[in-house]
């Protein structure tokens, strides 16, 4: 399909033609590493938010000077790309306290680079009225520092408009996910991830137009139901490689749903409009969305959301993936295993490195799992 081919092409390299045109016209780009960064604030400032990833990173020799192999391979790969100059088109970075790995990345870059905008957002690790108020103040400081550095003024009316634009994205992505839940879905899990990734590196209005065209093309179409089993993917960050999903689908496992920060958890909850305080609306929406493992009071809720995604996608089993040395998602796995066993949901757990360096081992384990699920 025309739009799917266009979306796939936008994810093949870090700097796509649309982004290159944005930069050529003098546009600014700010990169971030975690979906707890409210992109609406950057968008309202006229800056393109860019979620950082390091596709096809094959070695981390420069990053390993500052980070050990006990740091996750996602942050080391991103650091490697920064030192190689692969992100020279980025005008600044936003970091969060989402995990110790990301925090160390901020510490290293603060000491070894200069000249670019850098800001650290302290994300609360519990959700309450007081933590939402705290995060609202963090976002206010972010807005002020952003404005001072780039010479822009981010007004409340600008934030309201950006919230509307991003809520439109969330509406379209929910519609896309509902299509993939069909018995004979019109789109594969690989192409859904390609569509998600395209949105991390495009002007938001342009991305929304692509989603509208994609949904129009997919309406009324079906794939041949040739899959052996329906899978739901859950777990932590680093699952931004379409080849990982494609590996499962090439062996007959249709990826029909997910609980990922590159997937459903990113867009599942819209931001409620609060005209008198849009920063408070953003703080509440981002903290109350389906939680990452950094939220210490949401262990049971995360496992329940995985079960809900299994139900929505009519999945035969769950593949729970996490990056090696990710303590947060390693701890969550204990509750996931218990809840899946209670509910009779088959579960495969994969500990892997960023990218597909261990594809052979992954294929063997996925193949064995699919044989237990075969319809």
Predicted confidence (pLDDT) per residue in 126-178, tens digit: 999 999 999 999 999 999 999 999 999 999 999 999 999 999 999 999 999 99
* Residue 224 pLDDT > 60: no
Residue 186 lies in a domain: no
- How far is Cα 189 from Cα 149, in angstroms, rounded to an integer? 40
Which stretches of 84-188 are DSSP H helices? 100-112, 129-150, 156-180
CA distances from 114 to 29, 117, 238 (A): 16, 8, 26
pLDDT class of 1 with cuts at 50, 70, 90: low
Residue 63 lies in a domain: yes
Please tell me the predicted confidence (pLDDT) of residue 331: 87
Residue 46 lies in a domain: yes
- If 0-12 CB within 10 Å is exposed, 13-18 middle and 19+ buried, where does residue 374 land? exposed
Residue 305 lies in a domain: no
Nearest alpha-carbon partner for 232 in 265, 258, 251 = 258
Counts for the chain of helices (H) and strands (E), in that order: 15, 8
Is there a contact between 154 and 147 (Cβ–Cβ < 8 Å)?
A: yes
Q: Quick one: tokens of 284?
A: 């509440």
For 43, the domain range is 16-156
Q: What percent of the chain has pLDDT over 70?
A: 97
3-state SS class at 262: coil
Q: What is the mean pLDDT of residues 97-123?
A: 90
Residue 168 lies in a domain: no
Please tell me the predicted confidence (pLDDT) of residue 375: 61
Q: What is the mean pLDDT of residues 5-26?
A: 92
Residue 139 lies in a domain: yes
Please tell me the predicted confidence (pLDDT) of residue 358: 56
> Where is 235: in which H helix or E strand?
strand 229-235
Residue 209 lies in a domain: no
Domain with residue 124: its CATH number is 3.40.50.11890
Q: Average per-residue pLDDT in the chain? A: 92
Please tell me the predicted confidence (pLDDT) of residue 326: 87
Residue 218 lies in a domain: no
Please tell me the predicted confidence (pLDDT) of residue 356: 61
Is there a contact between 43 and 166 (Cβ–Cβ < 8 Å)?
A: yes
Predicted confidence (pLDDT) per residue in 184-207, tens digit: 899 999 999 999 999 999 999 999
Q: What is the mean pLDDT of residues 106-113?
A: 91
Domain count for the chain: 1
Predicted confidence (pLDDT) per residue in 304-338, tens digit: 999 999 999 999 999 999 988 888 888 899 999 99
């Amino acid at each position: 399909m025309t739009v799917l081919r266009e979306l796939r092409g936008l994810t093949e390299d870090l700097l796509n033609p649309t982004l290159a045109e944005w930069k050529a016209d003098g546009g600014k780009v700010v990169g971030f590493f975690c979906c707890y960064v409210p992109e609406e604030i950057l968008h309202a400032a006229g800056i393109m938010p860019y979620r950082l990833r390091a596709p096809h990173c094959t070695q981390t020799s420069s990053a390993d000077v500052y980070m050990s192999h006990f740091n996750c391979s996602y942050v080391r790969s991103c650091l490697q790309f920064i030192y190689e100059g692969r992100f020279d088109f980025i005008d600044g970075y936003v970091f969060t306290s989402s995990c110790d790995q990301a925090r160390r990345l901020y510490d290293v870059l603060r000491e070894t680079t200069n000249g670019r905008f850098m800001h650290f957002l302290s994300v609360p690790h519990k959700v309450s009225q007081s933590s939402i108020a705290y995060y609202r103040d963090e976002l206010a400081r972010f807005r002020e520092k952003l404005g001072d550095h780039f010479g822009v003024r981010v007004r409340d009316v600008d934030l309201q408009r950006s919230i509307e634009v991003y809520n439109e994205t969330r509406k379209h992505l929910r519609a896309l996910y509902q299509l993939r839940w069909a018995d004979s879905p019109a789109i594969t899990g690989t192409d859904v991830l390609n569509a998600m990734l395209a949105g991390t590196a495009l002007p938001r209005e342009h991305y929304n137009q692509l989603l509208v065209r994609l949904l129009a093309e997919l309406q009324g179409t079906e794939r041949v139901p040739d899959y052996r089993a329906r899978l739901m993917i859950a777990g932590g960050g680093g699952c931004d490689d379409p080849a990982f999903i494609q590996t499962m689908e090439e062996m007959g496992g249709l990826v029909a749903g997910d609980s990922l920060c590159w997937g459903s958890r990113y867009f599942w909850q819209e931001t409620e409009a609060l005209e008198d305080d849009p920063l408070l609306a953003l703080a509440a929406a981002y903290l109350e969305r389906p939680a990452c493992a950094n939220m210490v009071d949401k262990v049971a809720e995360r496992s329940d959301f995985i079960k809900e995604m299994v139900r929505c996608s009519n999945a035969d089993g769950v593949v729970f993936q996490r990056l090696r040395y990710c303590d947060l998602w390693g701890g969550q796995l204990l509750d996931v295993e218990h809840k899946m066993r209670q509910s009779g949901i088959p579960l495969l757990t994969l500990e892997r490195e960023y990218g597909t360096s261990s594809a052979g081992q992954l294929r063997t384990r996925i193949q064995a799992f699919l044989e237990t699920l075969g319809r």
